[in-house]
Amino acid sequence: MRILLSILFLLCFTFSNAQIPLSVKAAFPQGTTFYQNISYTNDTLKKHLLDIYLPTNTKLNTPLVIWVHGGAWMVNDKYADMGYMTNTIRSIIDKEYALASIDYRHSTTAPFPAQIQDCMAAVQYLYDHAASYKLDKNRIALMGFSAGGHLASLLALSVNNNVSSFYPNGKKPSFKIKAVCDFYGPSNLLMFYSNSTPENISDPIAKLLGASPLVRPDLAMQASPVTYVDKDDPPFFIVNGEKDPDVAPAQSYLLKSYLDLAHVKNELTIVKDAPHYGVMFDVDEVRLKLLQFLDNEMK
């Protein structure tokens, strides 16, 4: 798997416990309410923080979209990917959805399953505190990008499978996910290793798992979203770039096929000529389909 240095430095922004970058804040409509750097585990870790963005005059039981950032599981923070998805962000708030963006521990700090445990804890916090922010705890969607797409998919597909190692403190979460928007997230981690060797532990997936998938295929499959697909999973909206050099469209085709076989509602959009990330995913063709998907599934 080719390591995309641009993921590390260009995917968007890398901040630590920072204020919202002005370029990101400008994407939100005037009147948006911002709640920043909320600890979702009641500890002092900077990667255990989330932000909440509420539309103007938020009503009770506002549906929630949770943003899970990319960055090869080892860089970036809860503001990543927002810089090139400004039209989508604005539209989500304009449609009177709430948005929350979550941080999680990097693989360079803690190996898998720390990342999925953190995502589970963040969603559980939002579920438990929904009333405080006028959120509808029964209408929660996940939206993830690259590594964040992987984590969003993995969370939504595994949460009903009793995978105790994914649960914070081993306690199964009580929330349910209504819908998933997966932007170019890996679905099968073993598929990246046809030209690798067991000694190669320098790529992002090996760093995530703490070993090459060729040495620990069991871990690779445990961390692969497709492992957990079943008929009880939520609907998926999947997007991949046609010319993505890092997460090939085959990853999204495969996820779609697993969902189809389990009779789980899904739709896949391949963006012509698009690379791994960028403004080509913020165009009307994708954005309008995404909003229609959310409207259909978050009723």
**Which amino acid would we find at residue 113?**
P
Ordered by start, the domain boundaries in the chain are 21-188+224-297
Q: Work out whether strand 49-54 and strand 33-39 pair parallel, antiparallel, or are unpaired.
A: antiparallel
Q: How many CB atoms lie within 10 A of CB 10?
A: 13
**99, 64 in Cβ contact below 8 A?**
yes
What's the mean pLDDT in 36-64? 97
Q: For 21-188+224-297, CATH number?
A: 3.40.50.1820
Using one digit for the tens of pLDDT, what is the confidence trace for 231-273? 999 999 999 999 999 999 999 999 999 999 999 999 999 999 9
The pTM score is: 0.94
pLDDT at 4 over 80: no
pLDDT at 16 over 80: no
Tokens of 43: 């500890």
pLDDT at 17 over 80: no
Mean pLDDT score across all residues of the chain? 93
How high is the pLDDT of residue 195? 86
What's the mean pLDDT in 107-130? 98
Using one digit for the tens of pLDDT, what is the confidence trace for 32-46? 999 999 999 999 999
How high is the pLDDT of residue 18? 59
